[in-house]
Amino acid sequence: MTRRGGADRPAHGPRVSGRESQVLRWVAAGKSDWEIGQILRISEKTVNFHVENAKRKLGVATRIQAVVAAMREGLIEDEPFLPRDFDPPIG
């Protein structure tokens, strides 16, 4: 069974990985790939990899569209400004 407007998307919505969801929450908070990389202690290239995978899975073209789609699907919360998994720097 497929959803209206998405011939190859399952009825239960797209599946994004935990890391993709995590990265999209930081994108929603307005962070750049470099900033997200610093926060999550991963490379900027890895952040971009996760954003691009999420965009593909969600069937969208831009980062903003990915955030909106993820929020609509319930994949990220609508108050993403401090993700639950944020560990503030010590010191």
Partners of 6 in beta bridges: 3
- Dihedral angle at the C-alpha atoms of 34, 46, 20, 15, nearest 10 degrees? 150
Count the residues in the chain: 91
pLDDT at 28 over 60: yes
What's the DSSP call for residue 49? H
Residue 71 identity (one-letter amino acid):
M
- How do the domains of the chain map onto residue ranges? 14-72
Burial of 64 (0-12, 13-18, 19+ CB in 10 A): exposed
Query: 13: alpha, beta or left, given left = phi > 0 and alpha = psi -120 to 50?
Result: left
CATH numeric code, 14-72: 1.10.10.10
Look at residue 81 in the predicted model and tell me its pLDDT: 55
pTM exceeding the 0.75 threshold for the entire prediction: no
Q: Give the pLDDT confidence of 64-79 residue by residue, as tens digits.
A: 999 999 999 999 876 6
